[in-house]
A and B are shown apart, each in its own frame.
Chain A
């Protein structure tokens, strides 16, 4: 999958603790909004919403590549992303399971 060098992460807007982060990938750009908090060596992103890629464009491999990049950029040992309630699809209104990226 993509290397860290192929992914760029930019902070687009901040109103602490809410951030909009722009993640530029070889397949397109992903925007993420969420409530960002660093607790010890863990970065938590709560109420996360994303947009910008067609469903399936990322895959688990792409998601892991983003996780590795965020671990590197934030210099933490773990990232926990808790998505907000889904805004489209069959599971609209449901809160998804959190996604964890531990540093291996």
Chain B
């Protein structure tokens, strides 16, 4: 989850709640300190009911957003740009075999690749700029 503070009238209860959901008290205090300083804080909290936890945090003045790794459809993204597999691979820094394996279902992109593919889909020019900047 990504946490961000609104007005926290009961900061000690925020630390207690974080500690009840898997953070050590020391870590919970650190999280509270960072929230108070205006940072957004990524935390791993344990809960069988995420919505209830989110509601409890909201009641204490902490907005919580869940992190979900998106599922990317490689072929659909590639075809959206009208590129062949080879062109897509070259343009975005993949191995051609990797793109073929993804599309043919022999392998699935790992989480980082899924995220990169979704970023390519949304911001292709930015990814290209990063890749070409890396060349100098």
Identify which of residues 1-53 in chain B touch chain A, using a CB-to-CB cut-off of 8 Å: 5, 7-13, 15-16, 19, 24-26, 28-29, 32-33, 35-38
Residue contact A33 to B61, C-beta cutoff 8 Å: no
Give Cα A8–Cα B71 distance, bound, in whole angstroms: 55
Residue contact A49 to B25, C-beta cutoff 8 Å: no
Identify which of residues 43-98 in chain B touch chain A, using a CB-to-CB cut-off of 8 Å: 61
| A98–chain B nearest beta-carbon distance, Å | 15
Residue contact A31 to B25, C-beta cutoff 8 Å: no
| Majority secondary structure, B binding face | helix
Q: Which of A56-64, A66-74, A81-89 contacts B (4 or more CB under 8 A)?
A: A81-89
Residue contact A85 to B38, C-beta cutoff 8 Å: yes
Closest to B36 in A: A85
Residue contact A18 to B25, C-beta cutoff 8 Å: yes
Contact of B11 among A13, A14, A18, A33 (CB under 8 A): A33
Give Cα A31–Cα B16 distance, bound, in whole angstroms: 11
Residue contact A33 to B32, C-beta cutoff 8 Å: yes
Closest to B13 in A: A51
30 contacts between A and B (CB under 8 A): A13-B19, A13-B25, A15-B25, A15-B26, A17-B26, A20-B15, A32-B12, A33-B11, A33-B12, A33-B15, A33-B29, A33-B32, A49-B11, A49-B12, A49-B32, A49-B36, A84-B32, A84-B33, A84-B37, A87-B8, A87-B35, A87-B36, A87-B61, A88-B7, A88-B8, A88-B9, A92-B7, A93-B36, A93-B37, A93-B38
